[in-house]
Amino acid sequence: MIDSCRAWLIGYRHNLFSKDHWFAELWGGSVLMIFPILAHYGPSKPEAEWPPDLGFTHVLPDHMWQTLMLIVGLLQIISLGTKSLLFRGTCAFIAGWLACWATLNIYIYGAGVHPGIALGTGWVGINMFAVSRCVAGLR
């Protein structure tokens, strides 16, 4: 059991470091996991809430979108260690879609133009670049 886990970790590390631009997707997956955690443990007063939390509640309950983002972020990080371009591209596409959703929520339901829009736009760009690389093949 320990040997198989060790072999998996060594293979994951080899696959991860043999791919270029993996760090952008790693950061994208990390942000996708950190975002709902911060929203969950953020301020509970409506007047002090940060903008991204306001729009999601109109479509999904808080625990649903937080869980969805955590799972997709974890899957995106796991996908970096696999050789499946389909899995990696699908995770990047869903992560980009969630990032786009978060960015639009900041703009529409938040305080208008907010610094989070720049972060969200970059996040979408990273994931769409990853999707294009998976569609064209890693180069």
| pTM of the shown model | 0.74
CB 25 within 8 Å of CB 82:
no
Tokens of 47: 């007047």
The mean pLDDT of 104-130, rounded to a whole number, is 78
The domain locations on the chain are: 2-136
Whole-number mean pLDDT of the chain? 77
HSE of 61, CA atoms in CB hemisphere, 13 A: 2
Residue 71 confidence class, pLDDT cut points 50, 70, 90 = very high
For residues 9 and 48, the model is more confident at 9
CB 85 within 8 Å of CB 138:
yes
The 3-state DSSP class for residue 2 equals helix
**Alpha helices, DSSP H only, in 1-138?**
2-18, 22-41, 52-56, 62-79, 85-109, 116-136
